[in-house]
Structure 1
């Protein structure tokens, strides 16, 4: 598992990318999907996940839907129309960042 220091700055783009396919997801589902896709190398704690989700909701990037399951309420998150632009920007930024890191850590992997 990667350290919290290493993954801290990448959590927002990861969350947005997961939600970018249009499906709504609830918080625990997001954290479990990240664990599954990364073969448990990235673990998003509740303390890291929910502040990001609330911030994105406040900014209008995400909208929520409450679903009642028995006596419990599950809050689903979905990308808004304006949020799709933010996802495109963050995806471009993270891809550029990965290319930049490659210049330092794996310069032999770059095509010239």
Structure 2
């Protein structure tokens, strides 16, 4: 089984957690941090990340601000107060999901 397909459903809590633990981040920075933290096991593509960031921004979970850096514009994202609550809920749901999956990793008792 492809690990990337397993990670796909966990992308939102991962991104929310990163934004919650950093003041603000831009898209490429998020992808680099995820790759770094997972030692390359998880690599988020732009095609997966940016639609998620735009959806969360549209839902009021994130705010974005443009900043001129060098010769280019960079879009920084940060959590809103709604985003902070969403982050907590997403992490709780992720932890519940992990606990449920762990049930299948225990030896069967006959």
Fold shared, TM-score > 0.5 on shorter chain:
yes
Kept in 2, the 8 Å contact 1:22–1:79? The answer is no
What TM-score, normalized to structure 2? 0.91
Gaps of 5+ in 1: none
Spell out structure 1 runs of 4+ moving beyond 3 A.
none
Unaligned runs of 5+ in 2: none
Give 1:79's aligned residue.
79
Query: Structure 1 22/35 Cα, relative in aligned 2: closer, same or farther at 3 Å?
Result: closer
Output the CA distance in 2 between the equivalents of 1:92 and 1:29.
25
Residue 22 of structure 1 and its aligned partner are, at CA, apart by 4.5
Which residue in 2 is equivalent to 1:56? 56
CA distance in 1, matches of 2:36, 2:22: 19
Question: What is the rounded CA distance, in whole Å, between the counterparts of 2:101 and 2:35 in structure 1?
Answer: 23
Structure 1 residues 1-112: aligned runs within 5 Å: 3-105=3-105, 107=106
How many residues align structurally? 106
3-state secondary structure, aligned to 2:41 = coil
With the length of structure 1 as denominator, give the TM-score of the two structures: 0.89
Matches of 1:95 and 1:88 in 2, distance apart?
Answer: 11
The Cα RMSD (Å) is 1.2
Q: Is the contact between residue 24 and residue 77 of structure 1 (CA under 8 Å) also seen in structure 2?
A: yes
Tell me the CA shift for residue 70 of structure 1. Answer: 3.3
